[in-house]
Structure 1
Amino acid sequence: MLPVLPLELNHSWPLFEQEQRFDLGLMDRTDSFERAFAPISEIDRDAALRGGIGIWSCDLLDGNRLTWSDQVFDMFGLPRGATLRRAETVGFYAEESRAAMERLRAYAIRHRRGFILDTVINGGDGQRRWMRLIAAPFCNGARVTGLRGLKLDVSATYA
């Protein structure tokens, strides 16, 4: 039996702290920040492949268009390159996980905050997995235009 998810959702970090670090000159905006939020095609895929980490993005301005790396398709038990619709892919999340994810996602968009959440997914291949979802908002000025992040299979942690 899989453990129950905690009800308290306090797994987010403020994006403004990153921006304050830029203002103080502690980070190089053109290197670390923009690279961290670069489109998937521009991310160092070798690092992701070595660690078995899946990369994803959701474009809020383009109808919640999803982009996944091959590792995310594998975690969800879906054929690589399959057409993705967010309304369908959220159906793979177990009910408690989906509810927690949707609350944190809405909060992330509204307050420009990232989050980390361990979720249960029921893959298209019939496998039930624990997946760590790491999400951060991508902003254009004060407006959140997308979410991007990583997905990791952490089933072994819960075995």
Structure 2
Amino acid sequence: MPLFHSWPILDTGRHFDLGHLIDGDAVADFPAVDDAFLARHAIGRWECDLKGSRLTWSDAVYDLFGLPRGADLARAATVSQYCDQSRAAMERLRAYAIEHRRGFTLDAQIHATDGTLRWMRLIAAPVCAGNRVVRLTGLKRGITPRH
């Protein structure tokens, strides 16, 4: 069964515990995790600046979506790669995260550019300026869901 839930921004440290992403290798502090460590585990960083919906991805996220590394990204195009049910869940959680300054976790199914169906775990946390969310940031990793 796919995982999805929302959590308060004050719980960011607990929900960015990479033990949920990397079997057996728990990491207590998400921001301190270096990109080389993430790359070894095929985990990618992502960020969406809400002003203009500008996306920034690490190489592992490009690989997950089947896009050439460093390609220009348009949020509308990448969101279209989500399967319908996953896209609807992601958009609901995203809107809730922005409105209520909460993070979320979602197991989502996407179509890679080669047509392959893939599951990924998406972890998102809001970045605030004052009381307003200005960016969402987080991690993405390909997964095999448990049934």
Where does residue 47 of structure 2 map in the other structure? 57
Counterpart amino acid of residue 119 in structure 1 = A
CA distance in 1, matches of 2:85, 2:95: 16
Give 2:136's aligned residue.
147
Give the match's secondary structure for 2:80.
helix
- Matched with 1:25 is none
Residue 76 of structure 2 aligns with which residue?
A: 87
Identity of aligned residues (%): 57
* Partner residue in 2 for 1:14: 8
- Distance in 1 (alpha carbons) for counterparts of 2:10 and 2:40: 31
Greater percentage in helix: 1
Q: Return the TM-score normalized by structure 1.
A: 0.76
Equivalent residue pairs, number: 133
TM-score (norm 2): 0.81
TM alignment of 1:3-152, pairs within 5 A: 11-17=5-11, 36=31, 44-61=34-51, 63-152=52-141
Higher RCO by CA contacts (8 Å cutoff, separation 6 or greater): 2
Where in structure 2 are there 5+ consecutive unaligned residues? 13-27
Please give the root-mean-square deviation of Cα atoms over the aligned residues, in Å.
Answer: 2.4
Q: Which runs of 5+ in 1 are unaligned?
A: 19-31
Q: Distance in 1 between matches of 2:73 and 2:114?
A: 16
Distance 1:102 1:139 in 2: 19
